[in-house]
Amino acid sequence: MSEPILELRGINKSFGPVHVLHDIDFDVHPGQVTALVGDNGAGKSTLVKCIAGIHPTDSGQVLFNGEEVHIHGPRDAANLGIEVVYQDLALCDNLDIVQNMFLGRERGKLGMLDEADMEQAARTTLTSLSVRTVKSVRTQVASLSGGQRQTVAIAKAVLWNSKVVLLDEPTAALGVAQTRQVLDLVRRLAEQGLGVVLISHNMNDVFEVADRIACLYLGRMAAEVNTKDVTHGQVVELITAGRSGDLGIARPETATI
Ligand SMILES: Nc1ncnc2c1ncn2[C@@H]1O[C@H](COP(=O)(O)OP(=O)(O)OP(=O)(O)O)[C@@H](O)[C@H]1O
CA–CA separation, 81 vs 157, rounded Å? 9
10 pLDDT band (50/70/90 cuts)?
very high
Averaged pLDDT, 194-218:
96
Residue 193 CA to ligand 1 center (angstroms) comes to 30
* Res 119 pLDDT > 60: yes
- Among 13, 14, 20, name the best residue to mutate to test ligand 1's pocket (greatest count of ligand atoms within 8 A of Cβ): 20
At 72-106, the pLDDT tens digits run 999 899 999 999 998 777 789 999 999 998 887 76
| pLDDT tens digits, one per residue of 161-187 | 899 999 999 888 788 888 888 899 899
Buried b (16+ CB within 10 A) or exposed e, 218-233: bbbbbbebebeebeee
* 239 pLDDT above the threshold of 60: yes
pTM of the model: 0.91
CB atoms within 10 A of CB 40: 6
Mutation probe of ligand 1 site: the residue of 24, 40, 45 with most atoms within 8 A of C-beta: 45
Q: Where are the domains of the chain?
A: 6-96+164-241
CA of 44 to the centre of ligand 1 (A): 8
40 CA → ligand 1 middle, Å:
8
For residue 257, pLDDT beyond 60: no
Residue 110, phi then psi, degrees to nearest 5: 50, 40
Q: Assess whether the C-beta atom of 43 lies below 6 angstroms from ligand 1.
A: yes
Written out in words, the top-level CATH class of the domain with range 6-96+164-241 is: alpha beta
Q: How far apart are CA 253 and CA 222, in angstroms?
A: 9
> Could you tell me which residues are beta bridge partners of residue 7?
27, 63
Instruction: Indicate if ligand 1 lies below 6 Å from the C-beta of 15.
Output: yes
Round to whole Å and give the CA distance between 119 and 162: 19
Q: Model confidence at 113, in pLDDT bands (50, 70, 90)?
A: low
Tell whether the model's pLDDT for residue 251 goes beyond 70.
yes
**Residue 134: pLDDT over 70:** yes
- Which residues 6+ apart lie within 8 Å of 26 measured at CB? 7, 8, 11, 36, 47, 214, 221, 224
pLDDT greater at residue 207 or residue 250: 207
pLDDT at 133 over 80: no
Q: Is 250 helix (H, G, I), strand (E, B) or coil?
A: coil
Q: Considering only CA atoms, give the Rg of the chain.
A: 19
Q: Are strands 18-28 and 6-15 parallel, antiparallel or unpaired?
A: antiparallel
* Cβ pair 50, 84 in contact under 8 A: no
Q: What is the pLDDT of residue 107?
A: 60
Find which of 114-118, 222-226, 250-254 is predicted with most confidence, using mean pLDDT: 222-226
pLDDT tens per residue across span 137-155? 999 999 988 888 888 888 8
Determine which residue's CA is closest to atom 7 belonging to ligand 1: 15
What 3-state class would DSSP assign to 166?
Answer: strand
Determine the distance separating the centroid of ligand 1 and the alpha carbon of 28, expressed in angstroms.
22
Select from 24, 44, 168, 215 the residue to mutate for testing ligand 1; criterion: most ligand atoms less than 8 Å from CB: 44
Nearest CA to ligand 1 atom 29: 41
How high is the pLDDT of residue 245?
Answer: 78
Check residues 134 and 142 and name the one with the higher pLDDT: 142
- Where does 132-205 show beta strands of DSSP type E? 164-168, 195-199
Whether 45 lines ligand 1, by a CB cut-off of 6 Å, is yes
Cα of 243 vs centre of ligand 1, distance in Å, is 21
Which of 26-39 are b and which e, b meaning 16 or more Cβ less than 10 Å from the residue's Cβ? Answer: bbbbbbbbbbbbbb
Pick 30 or 157 by higher pLDDT.
Answer: 30
Q: How far is the centre of ligand 1, averaged over its atoms, from the C-alpha of 254 (Å)?
A: 19
CA nearest to 215, candidates 237, 231, 194: 237
Q: What is the mean pLDDT of residues 42-68?
A: 95
Q: Residue 255: what pLDDT?
A: 57
State the complex-level ipTM: 0.96
